[in-house]
Amino acid sequence: MDRIPPQKSSSFSPATFREERLGRNLSLGAIKISEHAPAVRVKEEAEEGRGGVDNAGAGEGEGAAGEEAAPPEEAAEPDLAMLSAEVDAFLAGREGDAPTSISEVTLDKFASAVEQEMAQSEGDDDKWAVGENGEAAPLLAAIRRISALAAALTAVPEGSKFTIGVHRVTGVLHRAMAFVEDEFHTMLEDPRVAKAAQNGDTRSATGKSMRRGPSFNHAGGDPASDGGGGGGGGGDTPPPFPPETVDRLRAMADAMIAVGYMTECTQVFLVARRNALDASLQNLGYEKASIDDVVRMAWESLESDVATWIKAFHHTINVGLSAEHDLCARVFAGCDAAVGRAIFVDLARCAMLQMLNFTEAVAMTKRAAEKLFKVLDMYEAVRDAAPVIDAFIAACSTTDAAADEPDTTTDALTDIKTELASVRSRLGESAAAIFCDLESSIRADAGKQPVPGGAVHPLTRYLMNYLKYACEYKNTLEQVFHEHHRTDIDADDEGSDPFAAQLMEVMELLHDNLEAKSRLYKDPALCSIFLMNNGRYMLQKIRGSPEINAVVGEAWSRKRSTDLRQYHKNYQRETWSRVLTLLRDDGVITVKGSVQKPVLKERFKQFNAAMDEIQRTQGAWVVSDEQLQSELRVSIAAVVVPAYRSFLGRFSQSFSAGRQAEKYIKLSAEDLEAIIDELFDGNAVSMPRRRN
């Protein structure tokens, strides 16, 4: 004879599963089979009134069917324990040689008792609690028993009197599964449900008041680890699942799987944990964005989103995935281990693909120098995720090998690792291209307007600070350039460093660019000041950063120091050699021991004019580095002041005291020192009158 299998409720069909679950009323009262078959109900009540004849009877007492029924008294609540004993006896008899019969009335009462147990369990903190000896909670035990009963009833040959009982029992079974499913989903999506239950908040049983701000930080891990790996901050992070909650989740999962609801159980788990994962990312400030939205986004906004992505990605890799792996393993420990692993892999794939799509979009945006460091941050985050995935692959491989099962989860995790490597490669390629674009930026900066006062050029400041910061990513950039180097820069030297070679290329281009810009100054002395300023700035940045100094090398620094000394000499030659010539007696001022006053007067006039010009022009020149400014002033004073003091000592007496001396000797040696001390301040002033 054909057997009647238990039919699953339509509420679990793929099209209506989600909507039906959300709208389901969990306050289940007793559901009578009279709603299915009133005639059978009347007959069974009549039989119960005459002594409870079981199904083995062959229609005794038919004459009493026509008697007037007494007014029904209010039925007593079904005794679940007593009915469970009858059901257990029936189930045990089904396996023996002498099957035990059971009445439709008993089936109805037992189904009602299970419904009553569900209704009473709402708000019960311990309805899913596992006993001290590992025994199932009464509600789960009742659900398992009614599941076994439904399976046994469907094995009864067609034509028996259990047809109505089958529908009654299986109907209650499906409602029980819906009840377990909702509780399973609520507890999975928000661990605070368990905390609220422990504190007496019965609303948490339905999940109506607690489904906000769920988290994937759970599975009995250390709550303090929530901030690890850069994933901290950005929202109210709920507590992890306590161990007793995980035990209850496992009991519910075992019950659903044992009843044949494996698909529904895994679907609910995946949906709940995906929702929790999404909500946790939102708590960290991360919001999903399409590739088109990211590509069109202004960098100011995108830069902030990248920083948030990095924080969320670190949290997912270092906290979230390990917690999800642990939760999957523990909740599904009672069944095939492959179930928990498969669910974890699905969760990991969804999390990774969602977040890696963002990196793909960033790599597709227009290249710009200011994007380099955020791209490198993303590159490092993706690179550092690979060992975590490797650890999961190793764990799954060990389990699969022990179980002698196909390595499907390992293959799926390997796919995730492959995708990580692909995204890392695109980010690395983007970073290398951005850095190499510095060459084009330098070549394009060919302005024809010199910087006032010979000050440090903005290009020098920007580029040296940029390179200094880039060298803080030295190890990462070396890795990037080894993967994406330019052969024309790296050549074929196996021991060469492509990043160092590229950086030196940029430095040489900057030096050449500054040499060209120095020629914009008409005054050769100012040209030397400009080169001194910029060269000194470059050298200080290099020596002030161990990272960039290690890349550039001491030989380059020594060469630039030599250049600086030469610029200094050039400046002194162009400015002060002419002044010193005026202070020398080259046989023209004194002829045969006699001072030629007209020549002496002309020399003082020329000296005064030269100093006035120097003070007026070079006082407006800029040397912002205090050490270089001091070095210049000291070197000038060391040469010029003694020469002037000597010149005054020899020839000041040639003028008569009073107006004549004041007319030609306008500066004392101290005045000259004061003028020199005011050079390179960026302020043009007039020559002071002689101090008395």
Q: For residues 282 and 501, what is the distance between their CA atoms, to the nearest angstrom?
A: 43
Residue with tokens 């642990």: 326
The least confident of 112-126, 164-178, 580-594 is: 112-126
What's the pLDDT tens digit per position in 274-290? 998 888 899 999 988 88
Instruction: Report residue 433's pLDDT band, with 50, 70 and 90 as the boundaries.
Output: very high
Instruction: Report residue 233's pLDDT band, with 50, 70 and 90 as the boundaries.
Output: very low
Name the DSSP class of 522: S
Per-residue pLDDT at 633: 96
Q: Are 189 and 210 in contact (CB under 8 A)?
A: no
Asked if the model's pLDDT at residue 252 lies above 60, the reply is yes
Instruction: Report residue 38's pLDDT band, with 50, 70 and 90 as the boundaries.
Output: very low
Per-residue pLDDT at 653: 85
Q: For residues 619 and 678, what is the distance between their CA atoms, to the nearest angstrom?
A: 6
Residue type, 180: V
Per-residue pLDDT at 614: 94
Per-residue pLDDT at 71: 45
Region of residue 401 (left: phi > 0; alpha: psi -120 to 50; beta: else): alpha
Per-residue pLDDT at 107: 83
CATH architecture of 456-676: Up-down Bundle (1.20)
Give, rounded to a whole angstrom, the gap between the first and last alpha carbons of the chain.
Answer: 134
Q: How far is CA 364 from the centre of its chain?
A: 19
The pLDDT of 512-541, averaged and rounded, is 96
Per-residue pLDDT at 259: 83
With a CB cutoff of 8 Å and minimum separation 6, the contacts of 571 are 525, 528, 529, 532, 632
Name the DSSP class of 316: I
Q: Are 497 and 478 in contact (CB under 8 A)?
A: yes
Per-residue pLDDT at 13: 36
The least confident of 9-23, 169-183, 536-550, 573-587 is: 9-23
Q: Are 183 and 252 in contact (CB under 8 A)?
A: yes
The pLDDT of 176-200, averaged and rounded, is 70
Instruction: Report residue 272's pLDDT band, with 50, 70 and 90 as the boundaries.
Output: very high
The least confident of 195-199, 434-438, 502-506 is: 195-199
Evaluate the CA torsion angle 364, 365, 368, 373 in order and state its sign: negative
Angle in degrees, CA 574, 672, 643, rounded to 5? 65
Per-residue pLDDT at 209: 33
Rounded (10°) CA dihedral 555, 557, 558, 561: 160
Per-residue pLDDT at 502: 94
- The percent helix, strand, coil of the chain (3-state, each to 5) is 70, 0, 30
Q: Is the pTM of this model over 0.95?
A: no
Dig out the tokens for 194 from the structure.
């368990």
Q: Are 621 and 682 in contact (CB under 8 A)?
A: yes
Q: Are 205 and 118 in contact (CB under 8 A)?
A: no
The pLDDT of 387-392, averaged and rounded, is 90
Please tell me which residue, 599 or 685, carries the higher pLDDT value: 599
Per-residue pLDDT at 400: 54
Please tell me which residue, 593 or 376, carries the higher pLDDT value: 376
Per-residue pLDDT at 78: 66
Q: Are 683 and 619 in contact (CB under 8 A)?
A: yes
Length of the chain in terms of residues written = 692
Q: For residues 4 and 246, what is the distance between their CA atoms, to the nearest angstrom?
A: 36
Q: Are 184 and 246 in contact (CB under 8 A)?
A: no
Name the DSSP class of 318: I
Per-residue pLDDT at 688: 52
Per-residue pLDDT at 214: 30
Residue type, 665: I
551 exposure class (CB count in 10 Å sphere: 0-12, 13-18, 19+): buried
Dig out the tokens for 451 from the structure.
């910087």
The pLDDT of 44-55, averaged and rounded, is 38
Per-residue pLDDT at 91: 80
Q: Are 88 and 100 in contact (CB under 8 A)?
A: no
Q: Are 135 and 124 in contact (CB under 8 A)?
A: no
Residue 219, SS3 per DSSP: coil
What's the pLDDT tens digit per position in 391-432? 988 887 765 554 555 557 788 888 999 999 999 999 999 999
3 state SS for 366-411: CCCHHHHHHHHHHHHHHHHHHHHHHHHHHHHHHHHHHHCCCCHHHH
3 state SS for 522-560: CCHHHHHHHHHHHHHHHHHHHHCCHHHHHHHCHHHHHHH
649 exposure class (CB count in 10 Å sphere: 0-12, 13-18, 19+): exposed
Q: For residues 344 and 332, what is the distance between their CA atoms, to the nearest angstrom?
A: 11
Per-residue pLDDT at 162: 65
Instruction: Report residue 684's pLDDT band, with 50, 70 and 90 as the boundaries.
Output: low
> What are the two backbone dihedrals, phi and then psi, of residue 67, each rounded to the nearest 5 degrees?
-70, 155
Of these ranges, 230-239, 389-398, 568-577, the one predicted with the greatest mean pLDDT is 568-577
Evaluate the CA torsion angle 673, 676, 677, 683 in order and state its sign: positive
Per-residue pLDDT at 678: 92
What's the pLDDT tens digit per position in 59-78? 333 433 344 444 444 455 66
Q: How far from 121 is each of 29, 75, 454, CA to CA, in Å? A: 12, 21, 85
What percent of the chain lies above the pLDDT cut of 70?
A: 74
What's the pLDDT tens digit per position in 341-358? 899 999 999 989 889 999
